[in-house]
Structures are given as C-alpha cells and as structure tokens.
Amino acid sequence: MTTLEALSQLFSDKHLLTDADSLLHYGRDWSRVHQPDPLAIVFPESTEQVQALVKLANEHQFALVPSGGRTGLSGGAIASNQEVVVSFDRMNKVLEFNAIDRSVRCQPGVITAQLQQLAEDNDLFYPVDFASSGSSQIGGNIATNAGGIKVIGYGLTRNWVSGLTVVTGEGKILELNHGLFKNATGYDLRHLFIGSEGTLGFITEATMQLTKTPQNLTVMVLGVPDVSSLMKVFETFRNAINPTAFESFIQRTVDIVHQEKGLPKPFETDAPFYILLEFENDSEARENKVLETFEYCAEQGWVLDGVMSQSEQQARDLWRLREDISESINAFTPYKNDLSVRMSEIPAFLEQLEALVSARYPDFEVVWYGHIGDGNLHLNILKPADMPAEEFFKACATVNHEVFGLVKAMRGSISAEHGVGLIKRDYLNYSREEDEVAYMRAMKAVFDPNNVMNPGKMLTA
C-alpha cells in the first residue's frame, strides 16, 4: 500500500491535499532557504485522529511534519523530503475558559491573537506577543517556546503553559500537568515537549494561563549615542520601573521602516541606537519616576532625545518602529541570525561581532535589532540587489563558524528564540555540548523510536 493510500483510510479527499499550491503553501515556513517538497497535507480534527495518523506513520514508515501558522524562521516546519505535513488549521477551537484558574484550554490551531483577544474580553491578558501574533498558532508557539517582545516583563511561552496533551512519536497520548500550578511528582515532561520543535510528538491540546491586564501601557522611544549608554539606560530604567519591554534597533532600521511603511521617525535627531521601552503607567508617581529617570539619563549623556506616547494610538505607532522591522527588511532578502548572550556581555559581544562582520562582510550591509533587555540580538545581513539569493546565502554561511565561535566563547545561544529547525541544526554544537546532544538524541529515541516526527530537524536524522 502506498502512503497516500494509507492516508486515505484516515482522511477524506477534502482533508488530504496533494495539489501543487497546497504543497507549496503548507510545505514551508517564513524562511526561504530550503525548497518545500511534501508528499501530502492532512488536516486532523481530534487527538484521536492524530494518534491514528502517528500509528499509521510508524506502520508504513513515513515522516510527519507539524504545521501551525508557519511563521517560523528556522525551517522547523519545512517539508523538503516527501514528508506528510500535518496542519492544525481544523483543530482551532477554544475548549474552555476558567475565570478562577485564569486559564484557557484550547486546541493547537488557535491563533495567538485570538487567545489575546479572548483574554481581553474577560478582562485578562495573555502577554506573549510578537509581530506574527495575527497568524502564528498556539501549538507552534509551544513547540518553539516562542519569545517575542515582552520576555523581560513576562517570560517565554513556557511560563504560560500549565497543561499539555500530546501524542508521542510512538502514538501514545499523554496528558501532562493538568493545568496545575504546583506538581512536584517527578520529571515534568510538559517542559520537554515545550521547545521540542515537533521532534518528539504532536501537541494536540494546551492549557494556557492568563494574567491581570496591565494598566495604561506607555511606550518611550529614546535615541542613544553608543552601546555602553544603551546598557546604562537599561540598568537605570530596569531598577527604577521594571519595564514590560526593552527593545533596541539602529538608525538604518528606522530609515528602512520609514521607506517601506511610510512610518514617521520618532523625533528630529538621528541616533546611532534606539531604545523602545514600555511600562505600566498606572499612577502619577510612576510617571514622575519615569520622567526623572529619563532626565537623569539625559544629564549623563546616555540619551540624545526621546518621546513618550500620550495615547494608545501613539503607543501602537511607536511600537511599529520595532515590530515592522522584520517585514520591512524582507525586501532585502536578509540572512538572519538570532543570537543571545547574558545581558552583561552585550557590549563586548557587539564590539567583537561588529569587528568580525565588517572585516568578513565588507560588501554587505549589516543591520541589527533585538530584544536587548533579554540579551537577544537579531543580526541581519542584507543582500545586495544585484546578487543571486543562493550565492548570497552561501557567502553569508562561510562566516557562520566565526560568528557562532564568538557566541560559544561567551557561552551564548546560536538561536535565542527562532529555534534550530533545519537552518541552525548543523551548528547546534556551538551552544550544546556533545554529551548534552547525545542525551537529546536518546530522548528523541524514547518518544519517537521510528523517527517519524519531523526527522532531520534540530538533530541530524
């Protein structure tokens, strides 16, 4: 029996697609380095149907690739080797909201923005946020332990998952942690599945925690002269007001967003570096504290200019200076890096990184932006307009070992939040020791003995 014949035992024609458009659409994520080439796309509707599919894959030896909103940037959801893509578009229901537990039990295909809206409708808040929240799905967020723009204030997706139902790669259904806050009964397998990039099994249900709505979130954009001032401003504001976000970018990204999206510059003065910080402006005393802190930083020469939002609309517009960068630089076919070091190491790291990239990429333009408040820098190399993409990606990759060598020397991460997928897989050793990778492989073999779950992602097949 062929794989397609086996699949047609489980899925009607409507939920088993093989046409070229669907193969292209569902076979890839937002990265454009690998060519998609899936065999088929299936759309299960329940945990039991996912279980039946996994059992079928084990029996007939075919590979499965989980597919959420496909907004990933590391090729984790790419099917380039005749795999069967498992889309969660039909498993998109909110199953239960519990006001006492402040939790939402939902299927993995629920869109991030939908969860945020549901929280808001109930006077609560789901704090994990990023530019792709309008299309990314909760299952994918959990599978990649998504971070985003509020990690300094609220942590990663991991912090908000209190329960998971998974189907393991060998076809067992596990219900993990049951929405509990406290549970000291041994290994917490929930946390193993969070960030596992679909290599151990499928997430088929999740219980997500919500929190109280922050009051009057206010945004400040500051221009700063250099990296050491940037770090001083970080330390000073963090001690004074505990910001909910602390992001950074450079003049060139302001210019690109202005050019691509027509967004006005935040203020007249151009600055080498910018900070966007957000805080709960819930009392006059707090606002005064912010203004005092701003003045102190300006007196020290750490801040060149600044603006503070006076309305929700202005806060949203200022956020766009940071959130629209990724989409705006797509016009330049960027080669993306997602690096992290401890915050205290950022100045030394940036200095070495800048020296390296200007020496090794003299003809390429380099821009960076990132979640500086949690040590995460997005270093993007922009493709010269007249260079073919393949040649450009190849040229960029020649410097990977040196960039990742710097990361390793600082015991940082080669992928802070985008995941490993296909794109970072061959560099995993720069962030993980040999013994650790061996344990990771051993764990995969326990949950997925026949290697049907997203083979070749994160770990070589």
Q: What is the rounded CA–CA span in Å between residue 164 and residue 416?
A: 23
The least distance separating ligand MLT from the CB of residue 252, rounded to whole angstroms, comes to: 14
The least distance separating ligand MLT from the CB of residue 440, rounded to whole angstroms, comes to: 24
- Residue (93 or 316) nearer to ligand MLT, CB: 316
The least distance separating ligand MLT from the CB of residue 185, rounded to whole angstroms, comes to: 35
Q: Does 415 bind ligand MLT (CB under 6 A)?
A: no
- Whether the CB-CB separation of 142 and 161 falls below 8 Å is answered with yes
Of 159, 175, 155, which Cα lies nearest the Cα of 167? 175
Residues comprising the chain, all counted? 461
Query: Reduced to 3 states, what is the DSSP secondary structure of residue 171?
Result: coil
The least distance separating ligand MLT from the CB of residue 330, rounded to whole angstroms, comes to: 9
Q: What is the rounded CA–CA span in Å between residue 78 and residue 35?
A: 8
- Residue (400 or 450) nearer to ligand MLT, CB: 400
Q: Look up tokens 């290994």; give the residue.
A: 187
Q: Does 326 bind ligand MLT (CB under 6 A)?
A: yes
- Whether the CB-CB separation of 270 and 293 falls below 8 Å is answered with no
Which residue, judged by CB position, is nearest to ligand MLT in the bound state?
A: 326
**DSSP letters for 419-435:** --TTTTGGGGGGTS-HH
Q: For ligand MLT, which residue of 105, 150, 378, 457 counts as binding (CB under 6 A)?
A: 378
Count of residues in contact with ligand MLT, rule CB under 6 A: 4
CA distances to 124, 394, 396 from 456, in Å: 39, 20, 22
Per-residue x/- track, 271-310, ligand MLT (CB under 6 A): ----------------------------------------
Q: What is the DSSP letter of 384?
A: P
Query: Reduced to 3 states, what is the DSSP secondary structure of residue 365?
Result: strand
- Residue (77 or 104) nearer to ligand MLT, CB: 77
Please report, as residue ranges, which positions from 153 to 212 form the binding site for ligand MLT (by CB under 6 A). Answer: none
- Residue (64 or 423) nearer to ligand MLT, CB: 423
C-alpha distance across the termini of the chain, in Å: 25
The least distance separating ligand MLT from the CB of residue 378, rounded to whole angstroms, comes to: 4
The least distance separating ligand MLT from the CB of residue 324, rounded to whole angstroms, comes to: 9
Q: Does 131 bind ligand MLT (CB under 6 A)?
A: yes
The least distance separating ligand MLT from the CB of residue 335, rounded to whole angstroms, comes to: 11
Of 318, 322, 297, which Cα lies nearest the Cα of 308? 318
Q: What is the rounded CA–CA span in Å between residue 168 and residue 451?
A: 11
Q: Does 133 bind ligand MLT (CB under 6 A)?
A: no
Binding site for ligand MLT (CB under 6 A): 131, 325-326, 378
